[in-house]
Chains A and B, each alone.
Chain A
Amino acid sequence: MSAQTKQFKVIGQRLQRPDGIDKVTGRARYGADIDAAGMLHGKILRSPHAHARILSIDTSAAEQLNGVMAVITRADFPTPHKGFEDVQDNCMAGDRVLYDGHAVAAVAATSKHIAKQAIKLIKVQYQVLPHVTDVEQAIQPDAPVVHSGLVSRRVPKGFSENVVRYSSFGHGNIETGFKAADAVLERTYKTEATHQGYIEPHACMASMGLDNRADMWVCTQGHFWIRNMCAGVMAMESASLRVTASEIGGGFGGKTTVFIEPVVLALAKKSGRAVKMVMTREEVLRATGPTVSTMMHVKVGMNKAGRITAAYAKLFYQAGAYKQATVDFGAMPAFAPYALENVKTEGLDVITNRPRTASYRAPGAPPACFAAESAIDELCQELGLDPMEVRLINAAKGGTKSSYGPTFEDHGLIQCLEAAKAHPHWQAPLEINQGRGLAAGFWFNFGGETCVSVFLNNDGSVTVTEGNPDIGGSRASISMMVAEELGIPYEQVRTTVTDTGSLGPNEPTHGSRVTFAVGLAAIKSARAIIDEIRARLARMWEVDVTDVVWQDGAAHYTGNKAGTFEPLDLRQVADIANNLGGPIAGHHEANAEGAGVSFGVHIADTEVDPETGFTSVKRYTVIQDAGKAIQPDYVEGQLQGGAVQGIGWALNEEYVYGEDGCLQNTGFLDYRIPVASDLPMIDTVIVEVPNPGHPFGVRGVGETPIVPPLAAIANAVSRACGKRQVDLPMSPPKVLASMQKA
């Protein structure tokens, strides 16, 4: 039965999540909520310089402080496994510090107080080197070089050695396309770095036995990856390390890698004791993984009828002090919503004296979408065209060759645009100083390595064991999918996230993959249970297995001796499971393929105060294709949360670096994320164009919502104040200055 026509019993209902009561009572345990007897407290000493050579580190005074059990530097780390060199260097600097906040040494002591004192006693001699933190400055031929010798062959000439990678995408001939345009717009756009801003700082505890086997408790999006990275950095076998994932207080991509974890492990090894470390908010902002900052040249040609005849973008992404591929993920989705004959995007990765960037929800896409959608919006204004009609005229659909290469399968962009056009928001009147912005965006989504085991318990309840930390309510969705497949009530299924020692490997909770991939594996595990039950009952009833069907939560005999056998539900099967051979379970392991892309369309209304340049968001609507919304509350939650992060990125959030190359705004007061009083309600519309790659049609939804808002808000502000905004964030002084320019 196809996903479109199936009537669901459980799927689609707004059922409560199993971890909810623990979370509203304070019982749930997050990264910092664990203790162990005799545990030590870890603290890291960090570089005060943006770029410097480490001449010497004298730890003697710290080691002698009463209560200090271990002091480590890079010298305490082994040569890492191949591929983990950058990760190790980022966790603990070697001969150079590459950014303000780069870890230089660490201590483990019997109290937090002593650990703090010990850090101050470590003497480091630095030779300060010239630094560069701005992307535009870093590419200049005379810029200070962060690392020599990393430039890949394909990088065009004329830049400094900080431009290390080059990629290009597209098809057709953009010059021909520009000639065919009635209007060509060319602009440069800039965005500053932001942070994922999770409210829970990184925290972990590690203990290592004398047999070099270790246990870790970590707040992470992916404990299997954390295990692999810690093992790689510490040159251990990953089987020697068991990682348990705590509940996680937000990640958004920033907790898919390691920062303090290998350091804590090294401290545990050297001290022979359990060591716990919790980052301060300042450390989180200075020394975890913010986003790129960007400079983007965009050129788009459009004819009078609204057809985009050519689209070009050249993106410079600064990704911190180490080589990254994030710019590819700006260059690929920039024009993805459109069916274009002529498109070319180029991406250049630039290294600077900033922290090693990490993923943040659709990493790379939001800035590129901001640039592309702003250019299209401005062309609409120039040609007097309706921005919604222009999107519809150019919209990609199933069969369109995408701007990044593959031909799209069916997806819901046009349905989202139609829904946006029909939405009351699109027609609502605007007041003075208000403007409305529209933007479309997308994310690829993927599946990846997945293992799930499902068990039938003695009492007929079902346990699902999976390996993905629950960020947005996935345990509920997974239970719902298994309940649906087995035909039993939701309450009869319990999904738990287990540790790395108890299940095969799993990719992290990222890439919008969990409801899709883990759901798929859980459904297949449930089907395996059904098949096992059918086989065993066929044997018991002495009938053909084809005459045993599973329906409405029970096994029924449907052969011509119908009526001979009473149906048996799960509870009854569980009662006799051991008689029939033993406990009943199903499992499924997959490199899940067939993830469906998710398109989103956002409408934003803003009001700009002409005296201060201050922007208030008056109304916001998110429309997105979810394939099939398993639990609509959680889909809406992703849409609203991602949109608000994008609003913050557009209006308030930025990393501010001083002349000294040090981060100036290291707390939530000056790194200003949206607060409740900044925002209206966020309306959501879930479009469902099922993904044929999932039994229930699920598409990942978590990342796409952050892609359009930068552009939607920028388009709204530009229209509200009458001046095109090209520089994010659109803080009041910037907007005011743009309004005052002639």
Chain B
Amino acid sequence: MAKIQIFGSLRDLFSGHDVVELDVSNLRQLLIKLPQLYPECAPEIAEGVSVSIDGKIINDAWFTPIRPDSEVVVLPRIVGG
């Protein structure tokens, strides 16, 4: 089970927990499972999020592996200027 940290506007959706445990092995599974288990976060996930996996910001690369000891942080979608 990977530990998923939730930040930003999603936080209050997880009953005060800022960490959620999920059985996922890559980013795509995470993006599917999160809204399945916590439907309230579905609009935000659909709008787009950035996910930091072991310190690297990942936008959309679904096959990025998530190991049980990976640090996973769900963040607002990072854009630039």
Contacts and interface: CB of A to CB of B under 8 A. Distances in A.
Interface in B22-81: 40, 50, 52, 54-61, 64, 71, 73, 75-81
Contacts of A708: none
B80 A406 contact: no
Interface residues of B, number: 28
Given A359-B79, A362-B81, A591-B59, A406 B73 contact: yes
A446 B55 contact: no
Contacts of A445: 80
A256 interface: yes
A599 interface: no
A64 B73 CA distance: 60
Contact of B80 (A165, A171, A362): A362
A360 B40 CA distance: 32
A404 B75 contact: yes
A510 B80 contact: yes
A4 interface: no
A359 B78 CA distance: 11
Interface string A497-529: 000000000000011110000000000000000
B21 interface: no
A409 interface: yes
Nearest to B50: A446
A407 B55 contact: yes
Contacts of A595: 56-57
B8 A169 contact: yes
Q: For the complex, would chain A's binding face be called helix, strand, loop or mixed by DSSP majority? A: loop
Interface stretch (A173-181, A324-332, A546-554, A729-737): A324-332
B78 A446 contact: yes
Nearest to A692: B56
A693 B73 contact: no
Contacts of B8: 167-169, 328
A405 B56 CA distance: 11
Which of B50, B52, B54, B79 is the most central at the interface, judged by chain A CB atoms within 10 Å of its CB?
Answer: B79
Given A406-B52, A407-B55, A407-B71, A325 B7 contact: no
Interface string B1-24: 000010111011000001000000
B43 to A, nearest CB: 9
Contacts of A407: 54-55, 71
A328 B76 contact: yes
A166 interface: yes
B81 A154 contact: no
Contacts of B71: 406-407
B61 A591 contact: yes
Contacts of B77: 325
Nearest to A590: B61
A524 B71 CA distance: 28
Interface string A354-367: 00001111110000
Contacts of B75: 332, 404-406
Nearest to A512: B80
B9 A167 contact: yes
B80 A511 contact: yes
Nearest to A401: B71
A194 B75 CA distance: 27
A447 B79 CA distance: 10
Residue in B8, B50, B80 whose Cβ sees the most chain A Cβ within 10 Å: B80
A594 interface: yes
B81 A405 contact: no
A703 interface: yes
Most buried by A among B9, B40, B50, B54: B9
A404 B7 contact: yes
Given A154-B9, A444-B57, A591-B60, A405 B73 contact: yes
A272 interface: no
Contacts of B73: 404-406
A409 B56 contact: yes
A474 B9 CA distance: 36
Contacts of A460: none
A316 interface: no
B13 to A, nearest CB: 8
Contacts of B11: 168
A578 interface: no
Nearest to B81: A253
A366 to B, nearest CB: 10
B9 A360 contact: no
Given A252-B81, A405-B75, A448 B55 contact: no
13 contacts: A153-B12, A167-B76, A196-B81, A329-B79, A358-B81, A359-B80, A406-B71, A407-B71, A443-B80, A446-B50, A446-B79, A446-B80, A447-B59
Interface of B: 5, 7-9, 11-12, 18, 40, 50, 52, 54-61, 64, 71, 73, 75-81
Given A404-B75, A511-B79, 7 more contacts: A167-B8, A168-B8, A168-B11, A404-B7, A406-B52, A511-B80, A593-B58
